[in-house]
Structure 1
Amino acid sequence: MNQVITAFFAAILFAGAFSFAHAEEDEKLSFAGSLEETLGHFWAIEQNLDDNNAELALVHATHPIAELYDSMKPELKEANPEFDEKVQKTLLDLGAKTGSDVSREDAQMAIDEAKEIIAEARTIVVGDELSNDTNFKAKLVIGLLTTSVAEYEEGVKNGQVEMMAEFQDGSAFVWRTQQVFEEIRADLPEHEADEIAELYEDLWTAYDNKADPSEVATLANGIIRELEEVIGEESEEGGLHAYFEGVEYHLSEVKETYADGDSDAALSHATKAYLDNYEFLEAPISQQDDALMEEIEVMMREELRDMIKAGAPADEINSQVDAILEKLETAESLLPMEEHEDEHEEEHDVVAPLKQVESGVAPEEVECSGDMELIMKKSTGSPACVTSATAERLVQLGWGTRPQ
């Protein structure tokens, strides 16, 4: 009996220690995320200085001290009060040291010094071992990409940049995640790493084209899902049947929009068919027939999208779609389906959040479409509609809050 009691309390203590360690790592992840955002702002300062845009350079020079430092201060102060004061002073002085009356060379020196301070802060608070851990870095990419999607949604409306600072925030954070990805790329499975690299290319193209926020979200979430799969944190929402239906719907839209001459819309649907739906089917299909899974993937991710980009004849696009659907039907027949799976609900059209606010709707009463969730950006109080998973990450990262 004594041995059983001892083992019981030992298990409780172990569980408590594990929970504490997990919470401690989450705190360090949040701190490191703020550092990555800060580095993103430094990059944006450099880009604006190169473009002789002192006004926007100043905006990004003041963001770290105005929006990020307060979240980092407790850990910095606990680790080293003197160093905390050094970080605060460095961030406070950055605007003056990179202003319009400062030479580009002197401004770069100030930015480089600030980068060194950030690197030192990472070592002091997070530690070199955890900072260099592949899974930890992958989680940083996931968190910062999530934030970038929300910033882009604020910045771009109807193909136009309406809020330049937010648009640049989004692009700066994407840039920073790509730097971190390149640091861990060699540690990732080659296939997934190559897919992520291609998604980054498409994501930058979407930024260049000022694409609809939904397209940017699709591409960013594609990278996020690839990384979640690699580190073992992927999740499935709904039954498999819903994903097959999603593929079929978007592929039918590929046919229709391409026939109407809208290749951009067709490419968007092809991308969503793959990233928003087929990605969730790859693992279960692979368990039954790995070769079939890879064949469908190539047909959707590479061949169909390349054909659309190249302006192939509509009948060739239709033939490719039909061939994919035939393969999908075979794949679906191999999988055991749940008897009671929820069907996709039709989403009703809802006006964009900021448009609702402009029409007199209170930010906390903004309506979101489908399964999107309302979240409020902490720094501005502006509303954004994001997925539940994205909302949870943004709250954890301190970017936003759920309305009360």
Structure 2
Amino acid sequence: MNKTIAALAAILFAVGFSYAHAEESEKESFASALEETLGHLHALELNLNESNSELARTHATHPIAELYESMKPELQEHDADFDAAFETALSELADKTIDAPREEAQAAIDEMKSLVEEARTLVVGDELSSDPNFRLALVRTLVETAGAEYAEAVEDGTITEMVEYQDGSAFVWRAQQIFSEIKADLPEHEAEEIEEFFADLDSAIKDIAPIENVQIYVEGIEHEVGEILGDESEEGGLHAYFEGIEHHLAEVKETYADGDSDAALAHATKAYLDNYEFLEAPVAQQNEELMEEIEIMMREELRDMIKAGAPADEINSQVDAILVKLEEAEALLPMEESEEGHEEEHEEDHDVMAPLKQVESGVAPEEVQCNGDMVLIIKSSTGSPACVKTSTADRLVQLGWGTRQ
């Protein structure tokens, strides 16, 4: 009898946990739509300041056209009258802001912002909305969506889709706002790294950097958020990470000598983010001072030298010094006999044309090929293709941004 009761209790607990998890996931999806709405309002304000009525109108109408339908069921369930007021405000936003006196337009925007906060309280609740981990998950989603928008907007250093480019910029802006509000509540080390990646991401977007460079910084933020939230995994043997670092540092030397500082910075970032991050904990267990020394040399000093345009011989010396320290660290760690599979992560991706170029050459959007482990997703509102990470695709589909092929 006791076993039966215990089994029943376990089942009820599992069901309750599953329901709570699903409910929080739905609230995260709803909150993400609200954050994107705030991003569009920010872009609307910027375009009004520049007297660009066409782009302002696009951002004023995007929330009602692309986001509201995903929010409506929750709003209806919680308060049908508020839902009606929210829908009306979104529908009238363009008429109240485009070609209106700037003060009146701002009043309408501020009213919409207030309604967004009311919707947040109504559906998500104040307690969950103020939880640092919940808000950090929103930061990750915004940055991932921004990366997908950027990939759709830029081709060969040129902005081909201005609206999507502004979407990406606005979502990064909103993600930075949230991060600045919760930074003090996060682990200091990871928070500092997220802040650095945000600075790099912001600069890369403003400089219309190659898509792969922007994706590195997006993945950097995603990785650090994952570490804080406890959903990062470490796969493969330790030796493979050392090999990955050596490969990327060799590329740093070669690409920097060729005058391609962007590629050199990308490889320096990958050496740290995709490899050394996974070595920090085991190295620190043996020699914490050495771990921190290598981290500073890779994450800060080398990348800062590349950004500052240091002479090539100084870059080479820094790389060589890092490699010496890495040898010390590797000697401290026990190596695993079997490390199959991880080396694939460090092989060069087979290059294919950018998604938009493939479409221009006659390839149907749903037939577009993606590099490496990237997957194809079709944006629901435009039908255009984008190549993103599997985890990013899953979240974008959940948010209604697009459909995975």
Check whether TM > 0.5: yes
CA distance change for structure 1 residues 241 and 376 in 2, over 3 Å: closer, same or farther? Answer: farther
1:230 is the counterpart of 2:232: no
Could you tell me which residue of structure 2 aligns to residue 243 of structure 1?
241
Map of 2:48 onto structure 1: 49
1:316 matched to 2:318: no
2 CA distance for matches of 1:397 and 1:279? 29
1-structure distance, mates of 2:64, 2:337: 51
Quote the offset at 1:337 in angstroms: 2.4
Alignment of 1:351-390 (within 5 A): 351-390=353-392
Change (3 A) 1:326 1:374: same
Summarize the Cα distance change of 1:340–1:247 in structure 2 as closer, same or farther, 3 Å threshold. closer
Q: In structure 2, which of residues 138, 141, 144 is the aligned counterpart of residue 140 of structure 1?
A: 138
CA gap of 1:287–1:400, structure 2 versus 1, over 3 A, is: farther
Pick which of 157-166 and 196-205 moved more. 196-205
**SS of 1:289's equivalent?**
helix
CA-to-aligned-CA distance 1:68-122 (integer Å, 9 cap, x gap): 000000000000000000110000000111112x011110000000000000000
1:285 match? 283
Report the CA distance shift for 1:92/1:338 in structure 2 as closer, same or farther (over 3 A): farther
Q: Please give the residue correspondences for 1:146-295 in structure 2 after superposition, counting only pairs within 5 Å.
A: 146-295=144-293
> Shift of the alpha carbon at 1:237?
4.5
What are the Cα deviations for residues 249-271 of structure 1, in whole angstroms up to 9, with x where unaligned? 21111111121222232222212
Deviation at 1:327, TM superposition (A): 1.8
Conserved? CA contact 1:156–1:167, under 8 Å: yes
Render the CA deviation track for 1:34-81: whole Å, top value 9, x for unaligned: 000000000000011111111101000000000000000000000000
Distance 2:54 2:40 in 1: 14
Distance 1:368-1:338 versus aligned 2 partners, 3 A rule: farther
Q: What is residue 31 of structure 2 aligned with on the other side?
A: 32
Q: Hey, what's the Cα distance between the residues in 1 that align with 2:235 and 2:63?
A: 35
Question: Which residue number in structure 1 is paired with residue 393 of structure 2?
Answer: 391
When residues 336 and 397 of structure 1 are mapped into structure 2, their CA distance, relative to the original with a 3 A threshold, is farther
Match of 1:118 in 2: 116
Between 1:106-115 and 1:318-327, the stretch displaced more is: 318-327
1:376 Cα offset (Å): 1.2
Provide Cα deviations, 1:161-182, integer angstroms capped at 9, x if missing partner: 1100000000000000011101
Distance 1:243-1:388 versus aligned 2 partners, 3 A rule: farther
| In 1, Cα distance between equivalents of 2:235 and 2:103 | 51
Task: Give a deviation string over 1:133-154, Cα, whole Å, max 9, x none.
Answer: 0110011111111111000001
Q: Deviations over 1:327-358 (max 9, x none)?
A: 22332331432514212244211011111111
Query: CA contact under 8 A between 2:148 and 2:388: conserved in structure 1?
Result: yes
2-side partners of 1:50 and 1:105: how far apart?
A: 11
Mapped partners of 2:89, 2:168: distance in 1: 24
Shift of 1:284: 2.9
Q: Which amino acid aligns with 1:371?
A: D
Q: Which runs of 5+ in 1 are unaligned?
A: none
- Quick one: distance in 1 between partners of 2:88 and 2:274? 44
> What is the root-mean-square deviation of aligned Cα atoms in Å?
1.4
For residues 212 and 156 of structure 2, the distance between their equivalents in structure 1, rounded to whole angstroms, comes to 11
How do 1:8-23 and structure 2 match up within 5 A?
8-23=7-22
In 1: Cα distance, 2:273 partner to 2:186 partner = 19
Indicate conservation of the 8 Å contact 1:143/1:397, yes or no. Answer: no
CA distance in 1, matches of 2:218, 2:126: 28
Contact conserved, 1:219 with 1:275, CA < 8 A, in 2? no
Distance 2:234 2:354 in 1: 27
Work out the percentage of aligned pairs sharing the same amino acid.
66
Contact residue 288 and residue 335 of structure 1 kept, 8 A = no
**What secondary structure sits across from 1:398 in the alignment?**
coil
Partner of 1:130: 128
How many angstroms apart in 2 are the aligned matches of 1:33 and 1:242? 36
Q: Matched residues in 1 for 2:305 and 2:212: separation? A: 22
Measure the CA separation in 2 of the matches of 1:89 and 1:391. Answer: 31
Tell me whether 39-48 or 250-259 shows the greater mean CA deviation: 250-259
Deviates more, 1:196-205 or 1:149-158: 196-205
TM-aligned CA distance change 1:70 to 1:238, over 3 Å: farther
Deviates more, 1:129-138 or 1:307-316: 307-316
Give the Cα separation in 1 of the matches to 2:355 and 2:362.
11
Q: Deviations over 1:162-210 (max 9, x none)?
A: 1000000000000000111011111012222122112111111101110
Does 148-157 or 394-403 show the bigger shift? 394-403
Alpha-carbon distance in structure 2 between the residues aligned to 1:54 and 1:200: 29
Task: Please give the residue correspondences for 1:293-332 in structure 2 after superposition, counting only pairs within 5 Å.
Answer: 293-332=291-330
Distance 1:341 1:214 in 2: 26
Q: Which amino acid aligns with 2:364?
A: A
